[in-house]
Every structure is written in C-alpha cells, then in structure tokens.
Amino acid sequence: MKVILLEDVVGVGKAGDVAQVKKGFARNFLLPKGIVIEANESNMKTLEHRRAKIAAKKAADKDAAELFAKQLEGKVLNFVAKAGEGGKLFGSVTTGDIAEEILDKLGFEVDRRKIDIEGTIKEIGEHDVPIRIYPEVVATIKVLVEPEGGLLEKASISKEEEIFVADEAATDDTAAEEIAEEDLAAEEAADEEGLAEEEAAAEEAQAEEPLDAVDAEGPQAAPEDAE
C-alpha cells in the first residue's frame, strides 16, 4: 500500500516521503496513529502543500528542541545508592530513574527512550548522559551517583582491621600466659632443687653426727693392770 508519511518512521522514510508499506501495517498501525495518509489521487495533488507544512513544523520543533536543550545542558542530577567493592552498585540507575528525576527536580518531561545510555549506570561517580531531544539536537546532563553511608569496601576494611587487632591482642594475651606459666614452672623447679639440696645437706649432717659425739667425749682411758 502506498502512503504519504506525515512523520519520520524508522525503516520506512521521513515526513513528506511517499512510501510503499504492507497493507496490514498501514491499516492496523500507521493510519490509526495519524502517522500517514493514503497516497490517493486527492492527497497526492496536495502533497507539495503538505510537504511545506511538514517542513515548517519540523523547523518549529527543532527550534523548540534547541531551546529545551539549552535549559537542560550541564544540569546535574544526584542519586544515592548502596555500593560495594570497587564502587559497584547493588542495582543500577535506569533511564526511567533519570527521566523521573528530571521531572521532579528540573520540571521537564523527557521520554526515557531519548536518554542515550547503553543499558544502565552500575557504579558510583559522575556520568555524562546525552539526551537526544531531536534528531539533530542533543543535551548532555551529568548524573552523580554517590554511595549510601560510604562504600561497603571501606567498612569491610575497617572490620578486617578490627579483627586483626583483636587477633593480635589475643595472641599477646596467649604469649603472656605462656610466659607466666614458664616463669611459674621455673620457680617450682628452683624450689624443688633448693629443697633437694637442703634435704641432702640434712642427711649429710645426720650421717656425720655420731663421729662428732665420739670426738666430744674423747678417747676412753685404757683400764689399769691390777697390781
């Protein structure tokens, strides 16, 4: 089916073009949406007039888009999200999130499909985000993603340091206990050795005591021969 495009259609053509499309596509989508009109004899006669109107509308749309782009250019949106090791987000910032923030904070309505990022934002930091307002008009805003309550990586390091300090303290306590036990064992060994020496000395003194007694009494006199 031959139609006249009133708007740009991806894969079909630009506004003002005459294009051949499938009848079902035209009747079920393009015609009900007002994107095309049938290229019949009557419409073809007024095609040039329609093209002039389309060109004027496109110029006005572009001017409006450029004004909008100036209002958006350089604006900064702030997001706070939970982040882990290396600044990776638990989740992501999506084009839908950005579109909602533009509406809430800046008061502009932007189709999320015009936010030109690949996938989603998945890490903290500053990100340049292009917004394709019109085919030839792009505004770039900045999306600043900050970690909620600091990076978990830092918290993990602190926890590891805390565990390390606790382990060191436990090690010091164990070492002190071992030293105390060694000192006690040494004292007990010294006491046992001293006691053994005292006992040996006592036994030696006891063994020498009879000799001392004999020496004290002196030699006994030999009995005199009877006269």
Q: How large a percentage of the chain has pLDDT more than 90? A: 59
Report the pLDDT averaged over residues 213-217: 43
Q: How many helices (H) and strands (E) does the chain have?
A: 6, 8
Measure the CA–CA gap between 30 and 23, rounded to whole angstroms. Answer: 10
pLDDT score of 150? 63
Report the pLDDT averaged over residues 66-93: 93
Full DSSP string of 22-62: -HHHIIIIIHHHTSEEE--HHHHHTHHHHHHHHHHHHHHHH
Measure the CA–CA gap between 147 and 81, rounded to whole angstroms. Answer: 5
| CA geometry: angle 71, 75, 81, nearest 5 deg | 145
From the list 148, 89, 139, 146, the residue with the least C-alpha distance to 119 is 89
Residue 220 has pLDDT above 50, yes or no: no
Report the pLDDT averaged over residues 181-202: 57
Cβ atoms of 125 and 145 within 8 Å: the answer is: yes
pLDDT score of 187? 58
pLDDT score of 149? 78
140 — phi, psi (to 5°)? -115, 125
Measure the CA–CA gap between 93 and 68, rounded to whole angstroms. Answer: 23
pLDDT higher for 182 or 222? 182
From the list 125, 60, 118, 139, the residue with the least C-alpha distance to 87 is 125
Residue 221 has pLDDT above 50, yes or no: no
Report the pLDDT averaged over residues 169-179: 48
pLDDT score of 156? 40
Residue 164 has pLDDT above 50, yes or no: no
What are the tens digits of pLDDT across the range 32-64? 999 999 999 999 999 999 999 999 999 999 999
Q: Supply the mean pLDDT for the chain.
A: 78
Residue 90 has pLDDT above 70, yes or no: yes
What are the tens digits of pLDDT across the range 122-133? 999 999 999 999
Question: Could you tell me the pLDDT band of residue 212, with boundaries at 50, 70 and 90?
Answer: very low
Measure the CA–CA gap between 124 and 144, rounded to whole angstroms. Answer: 7
Residue 180 has pLDDT above 80, yes or no: no
Identity (one letter) of the amino acid at 145?
A: V
From the list 33, 42, 37, the residue with the least C-alpha distance to 18 is 37
Question: Could you tell me the pLDDT band of residue 118, with boundaries at 50, 70 and 90?
Answer: confident
How far is CA 134 from each of CA 52, 66, 156, 189, rounded to the nearest angstrom?
Answer: 20, 8, 46, 95
